[in-house]
């Protein structure tokens, strides 16, 4: 950030009075510009021991597989956002969604909050942001083609729970970073 969103003057990166972290502060109008983590909400849609994955039709990670998830919008609850994303990306609705996990990704300032639930009427299809949508058993998941490390972690937690007949709310910190797609193809 270089300029103030209030008055347009240059900002300084400094610790404001009464704070303990550096922030973007306008030297002209003293507005403090807070930059906080982004919340991503999504779903683990299930049919028995299979999960529904979407092949991304958008960047980043075009063509890679992911769970239906996306940025939470202003004015919606986390669950509303998760269900909206599930519909937008997979044309799917869930029966009785329950919280599955909260995943912190501090190096990119994101928090993922995922719900799991059975597919309503086992109905799904590719939404505008998906090239393809498919059900996968654990053995059939294209693990090397998953878009983001958080998706890999969430799916591993999910399948561990299924094997042990557990329903745990997972919390984890994701520290692994994306591998380059150009290097992966070589």
The reply to whether 43 and 10 lie within a common domain is: no
pLDDT at 83: 99
Question: For residue 139, what are the contacts with CB-CB under 8 A and spacing of at least 6?
Answer: none
The reply to whether 71 and 160 lie within a common domain is: yes
pLDDT, tens only, 137-158 = 999 999 999 999 999 999 999 9
pLDDT at 181: 62
What's the predicted TM-score (pTM) here? 0.89
pLDDT at 185: 41
The reply to whether 71 and 150 lie within a common domain is: yes
pLDDT at 183: 45
d(CA 56, CA 25): 38
Looking at the predicted structure, is the pLDDT value of residue 74 above 80?
yes
The reply to whether 139 and 82 lie within a common domain is: yes
Closest CA to 135 of 150, 122, 120, 148: 122
């Amino acid at each position: 950030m270089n300029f103030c969103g209030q008055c347009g003057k240059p900002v300084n990166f400094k610790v404001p009075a009464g704070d303990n972290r550096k922030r973007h502060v306008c030297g002209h109008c003293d507005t403090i510009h807070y930059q906080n983590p982004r919340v991503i909400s999504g779903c683990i849609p299930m049919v028995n021991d299979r999960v529904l994955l979407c092949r991304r039709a958008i960047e980043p990670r075009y063509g890679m597989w992911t769970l239906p998830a996306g940025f939470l919008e202003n004015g919606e609850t986390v669950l509303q956002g998760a269900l909206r994303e599930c519909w937008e990306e997979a044309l799917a609705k869930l029966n009785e969604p329950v919280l599955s996990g909260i995943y912190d990704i501090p190096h990119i300032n994101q928090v993922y909050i995922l719900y799991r639930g059975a597919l309503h009427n086992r109905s799904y299809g590719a939404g505008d942001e998906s090239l393809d949508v498919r059900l996968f058993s654990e053995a059939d998941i294209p693990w090397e083609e998953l878009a983001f490390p958080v998706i890999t972690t969430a799916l591993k937690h999910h399948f561990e729970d299924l094997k042990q007949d557990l329903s745990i709310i997972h919390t984890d910190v994701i520290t692994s970073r994306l591998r380059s797609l150009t290097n992966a193809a070589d």
